[in-house]
Amino acid sequence: MTPTLEEQILALGPWCHEIQVTPTVSTRVWYERASNEDAELPFVNPNDIPAGTLLRRLFPGGLDGRSVLDCGCNGGGYLFMARDLGAGRCYGFDARDHWVRQAQFVAAHRKGSEDITFEVRRLDDLPQLEHDKYDVTFFNGILYHLPEPVGGLKVASDLTQELIIVDTSTRAGMPDGYLAVQNEDKELLLAGVHGLSWLPTGPAVVHRILRWAGFTECVTVQHLPVRPEVSRLVVAASKAPGLLAPLRED
C-alpha cells in the first residue's frame, strides 16, 4: 500500500522548515507528532524570519523572475518562499543528503516548483559547476560551519549580482572584529561537515568580509542574544546602489 503524503513526511523527519507541500498538507505534520527530543530542534517558517521579511521589504512588487541561490538550503524552505514571491531560476545545495532529500521531496509534490534544483554539494564545489550568476543569495546558517568563512563568502559573492542575506550565529562576550574557532561534531545533522569552524564575534567583522568580497553596501538587520555565549546576526549586503535604502530608514 502506497504511504500517504503525511506518512512520507514523517518518514523524512526531522524537519527544520515548515513548508506547505500541498494546499492541505505541510511539514508541520512532523513537528506536531515529533518526540519531545526532536521537537526541540529549530522548526521555522521561512516567511516569518528575517530572510522572508527582508525580501518582501526590499522587493515589494515581488522578485519578478530574479534567480536565487541558497547555500546550505536545508529542506528548501527559503527557495519555495522565493518562488512564491515570483523568483525564477532557483538552485539550492546542502552538504547533507538528509536535507536535500527533503527539499527534492517537496519539489516533487509542490505546485510551481519547476526550475528549482536541489543537490548534495559543498560550497567549494560551486566554482566548478560554472553556473550563471544569481540575483539573490541566501547564506543562512552556513557561515559559522565553515573552516574558511572568508573564502566561503567570496565564493558566494562571485555568484551574486544583487543581494546576499547572511544569517549566522556569533560568539558573544568578545570584541567585535574577530573570528573565534570551534570544533563541531560532524555526525550532528545541524552541525557542519568539516569538524572545524569559525564564529564571527559581531557584525563588524561580517561587514568587513562582505565588503572585501565585493558588496558595496551592508546593513545589520538583527543581532540578538540566544545564549550567554552565542548571539544571532542577520546582515543584508548589496551590489545594487540604493537597494538597501528601505533598511536605513529604521
pLDDT at 36: 63
Q: Is the separation of the CB atoms in 32 and 53 below 8 Å? A: no
What is the rounded CA–CA span in Å between residue 138 and residue 52?
Answer: 10
Q: Which grid coordinates are listed for 77?
A: 524552505
Which ranges in the chain belong to alpha helices (H)?
5-11, 28-33, 36-39, 50-58, 77-84, 97-109, 126-129, 149-158, 203-213, 245-248
Question: Which cell numbers in the block locate residue 87?
Answer: 523568483
Cell numbers at residue 19, please? 513548508
**111 phi, psi to nearest 5 deg:** -65, 140
Coil vs helix vs strand at 66: coil
Report yes or no on whether pTM surpasses 0.85: yes
| Cell (9 digits) for 175 | 570584541
Question: What local confidence, expressed as pLDDT, does residue 249 receive?
Answer: 67
* Torsion sign, CA atoms 70, 74, 78, 80: positive
* DSSP single-letter state for residue 2: P
For residue 35, the model assigns a pLDDT of: 75
- The residues, ordered by sequence, that sit 6+ positions from 106 with a Cβ below 8 Å of its Cβ are 19, 21, 27, 75, 76, 80, 113
Alpha carbons 77 and 10: distance in angstroms, whole number: 17
> H or E segment at 166?
strand 160-171
pLDDT in tens, the chain (250 residues): 889 999 999 999 999 999 999 999 999 999 998 876 676 778 999 999 999 999 999 999 999 999 999 999 999 999 999 999 999 999 999 999 999 999 999 999 999 999 999 999 999 999 999 999 999 999 999 999 999 999 999 999 999 999 999 999 999 999 999 999 999 999 999 999 999 999 999 999 999 999 999 999 999 999 999 999 999 999 999 999 999 999 986 5
Q: Does residue 30 contact residue 13 with C-beta atoms inside 8 Å?
A: yes
How far is residue 25's CA from residue 23's CA, in Å, rounded to a whole number?
6
Architecture of domain 46-248: 3-Layer(aba) Sandwich (3.40)
User: What is the residue extent of each domain of the chain?
Assistant: 46-248
